[in-house]
Amino acid sequence: MTKPRVVKSYEKLEEGTLLQIKLRYPEGFADSLIRFNDVGGKMTSALPFEPEEKVYLIRMTEQEALLIIDDDDDYDDDGNLLDEAREAYRDRLDEDEDDDIEAADIDPSELFDEDSCDGDEDE
């Protein structure tokens, strides 16, 4: 099954998607743009991004890509994602993934951790 391809403006992306894009492109977007013909046959440029659920073609020109990074406080003057922002985004995305895990109703007294014993079954 192929993933759906979605052409979308950068400004209309969800916050979680924006964080993933910044982590994927820590040195900015301009050098990663591609050109393609849109549904109307018009030549356009976009930033490709492919998370698990779909393929995004994020519509932007090279000038817009440079301005986005220039205006973003998470990037330094050379257009590189700041280390502090990178770590914060990774932590935040890890937390979001943990939120998807359902809590189980398990009594800890009923558990036996085989990894924590040294092979002695008498303990």
Q: What is the residue extent of each domain of the chain?
A: 5-98
pLDDT tens readout for residues 5-27? 888 999 999 998 999 999 999 99
C-beta atoms surrounding 119 within 10 Å: 6
Nearest to 27 by CA among 71, 88, 81, 82: 81
First to last CA, the chain: 51
pLDDT confidence of residue 110: 54
Q: What is the pLDDT of residue 96?
A: 54
Query: Do you know the residue count of the chain?
Result: 123
Which pLDDT belongs to residue 111? 52
* pLDDT per residue as tens digits for the range 19-60: 999 999 999 999 999 998 888 888 899 999 998 888 999 999
